[in-house]
Amino acid sequence: MRPISLARVISLGCAAMIAGAAFAADDGLTLPAGFSATVVQEGLGAGRHLDVAANGDIYLAGAKGLNAMRDTNGDGKADQVKAFGNVEGTEVRIFKDWLYVSDDVGVYRYPLKKGELAPSGARETVVSQFPQERQHADKTFALDPKGTLYVNVGAPSNSCQEKDRQEGSQGRSPCPLLEKYGGVWVFDGTKLNQTPANGRRFATGMRNAVAIEWNAGQNALFAVIHGRDSIDTLFPALYNAQDNATRQAEEFHQIVEGGNFGWPYTFFDTKLGHRVVAPEYGGDAKKVPEAGKYPDPLVAFPAHWAPNDLLFYSGKSFPAKYQDGAFIAFHGSWNRAPEPQAGYKVVFQPMKAGKPNGAYEVFVDGFAGDMPDNSPNNARYRPVGLAVGPDGSLYVADSQKGRIWRISYAKK
C-alpha cells in the first residue's frame, strides 16, 4: 500500500475545497456537499466514545463519567440528560440488552431496560484488575455478534526503551511489556468477574489501538494504531523535527488472530513507504526488518494524527459510496510541535470487501479552529468518538467540551 504524504493530504483536502465540495456547517465544521452537522449536545466536558441505541438515545463516556441523552421533542437537540453510573473512561457500546463500558482497569456492563434512559440496574463487572497504568491506559474494546470481547491493552511506553522517552536509551529486547500489554486480549464478554488471567492474547505488537472495531460485514476485527513519538529528540543523529512530525504512520490494520504488528521493534515509515527497524533496536532510519514478519498497514495515515475511533458505516441514509467504508476520528497531534499540529478531523476511507478502495477523504474538518500557539490545549474541539444512529446519521463526540454533533445527509 502506497503511503500518503502530507502534501498529498493537503492537496486532497484543498482539491475538495476549491471544487466547492465543502461548505461551512454548524460550528464552522466543513463537510462534503449534501451533508450537514447539527449540535445535539452543547457539552458535558471531556467526552470520549459514544453509542446510539435503536430508539435514538445517546450514551457518552467521558472523564467525568457516563451520560445518557434523549431528544424528546424531535428538534435534534438532547433535552434530557442524565448522568449515571460510576465509570470514568473511554469506551461505551450497546450489545443486546446491555451497555458495556470501560475504564483504565476494567470492562463493565449495565442492563438496558426498555423505556429507561439511564440504566437503573446494578453495574456488573465483566473483566477487572488490569494493572493501573498512566500511559495508553484506556481499555477500549469491540464485541463480535457472539459476545466475544476484544480489549485493547495499550503499552505503557513509547517504544519500550530501558528508560521511557530518554534520549539514546536502547530498546528492551525482547520487550517484556508485550507479555501483558501492547496488543488485543480476548474474553467471553458474556461472563462476569473475569480477570486478565481469563483472557487470551489475540494479537500483539500494537502500541495503542484506541480505535478498535468489529466489522460485521467482513466478520473481522480492525484497528487503527497510534504510532510512536519523538524519533527526533530520542535519536537526533538519525532524525530531525520534520522527520518526527511526518514519518511514523498511524497504521490501519485488519487484526488477525496471532498477528504481530511490529511495535516496538519497527514502525511504518511514510517517507520511505516501508517498515523500518526502530532506532532503539538498531535502526539507522532505513534498515528494513526481517521480510514477512510484520504486515504492512492497509492504510498508512499521517504521523501523530491520533486515531481515536473507528466505525464501519452500515447505515442507510448516506450515499452508496459510504457503505461498508471506514470513518476514523483523528483526535489531533501534540508531538508534531514545533511543526504545525495536524489531525483534528474525521476521515472517510472507502472500503470494499475489507480492503481499501481508493484514497481516504477528509469528511469533517474545522474542529480545531485557529488553535493559537499551535497548542492542542487551544483547539476549539477535538473529535474523539463516532457512532451511527438508527436513521443512519453519524454522531461525533468531542473531548474539549463534550460537544456532540449529528451529521446527516439530505438528498439533493
Binding-site ranges for another protein (CB under 8 A): 6-7, 10-11, 13-14, 17-18, 20, 22-24, 134-137, 158, 163-169, 229-230, 233, 240-242, 244, 334-340, 372-378
At its nearest, how many Å lie between another protein and the CB of residue 232? 8
DSSP 198-266: G-EEEEE--S---EEEEETTTTEEEEEE-----HHHH-TTT--HHHHHHSB-EEEEEE-TT-B--TTTE
At its nearest, how many Å lie between another protein and the CB of residue 166? 4
Burial of residue 410 (CB within 10 Å: 0-12, 13-18, 19+) is exposed
Compare residues 45 and 56 and give the one whose CB is closer to another protein: 45
Compare residues 120 and 240 and give the one whose CB is closer to another protein: 240
At its nearest, how many Å lie between another protein and the CB of residue 23? 7
Around Cβ 77, how many Cβ atoms within 10 Å?
A: 15
Q: What are 83's three cell numbers?
A: 448522568
At its nearest, how many Å lie between another protein and the CB of residue 406? 22
| Interatomic CA distance for residues 31 and 278, integer angstroms | 37
Give Cβ neighbours of residue 392 (< 8 Å, ≥ 6 apart): 315, 316, 317, 318, 408, 409
| Interatomic CA distance for residues 35 and 324, integer angstroms | 18
Under 8 Å between Cβ of 266 and 275:
yes
Compare residues 70 and 334 and give the one whose CB is closer to another protein: 334
Amino acid of residue 132:
Q
Under 8 Å between Cβ of 31 and 407:
yes
At its nearest, how many Å lie between another protein and the CB of residue 244? 8
Compare residues 7 and 197 and give the one whose CB is closer to another protein: 7
Compare residues 72 and 377 and give the one whose CB is closer to another protein: 377
Compare residues 133 and 213 and give the one whose CB is closer to another protein: 133
E-only strand ranges, 71-123:
80-84, 92-95, 98-102, 107-111
Compare residues 52 and 368 and give the one whose CB is closer to another protein: 368
At its nearest, how many Å lie between another protein and the CB of residue 229? 8
At its nearest, how many Å lie between another protein and the CB of residue 373? 4
Q: What are 288's three cell numbers?
A: 528494513
| Interatomic CA distance for residues 374 and 103, integer angstroms | 30
Longest Cα–Cα distance of the chain, Å, equals 62
At its nearest, how many Å lie between another protein and the CB of residue 337? 5
Compute CA 4 distance to the chain's CA centroid, rounded to the nearest angstrom: 19
Compare residues 189 and 376 and give the one whose CB is closer to another protein: 376
At its nearest, how many Å lie between another protein and the CB of residue 13? 7
Under 8 Å between Cβ of 279 and 335:
no
Q: What are 280's three cell numbers?
A: 532503539
Give backbone dihedrals phi and psi of 244, rounded to 5 degrees, phi first.
Answer: -60, -35
At its nearest, how many Å lie between another protein and the CB of residue 355? 29
Compare residues 120 and 166 and give the one whose CB is closer to another protein: 166
At its nearest, how many Å lie between another protein and the CB of residue 345? 14
Give Cβ neighbours of residue 96 (< 8 Å, ≥ 6 apart): 147
Compare residues 6 and 127 and give the one whose CB is closer to another protein: 6
Q: What are 120's three cell numbers?
A: 437503573
Compare residues 125 and 378 and give the one whose CB is closer to another protein: 378
DSSP H or E run through 22:
strand 22-24
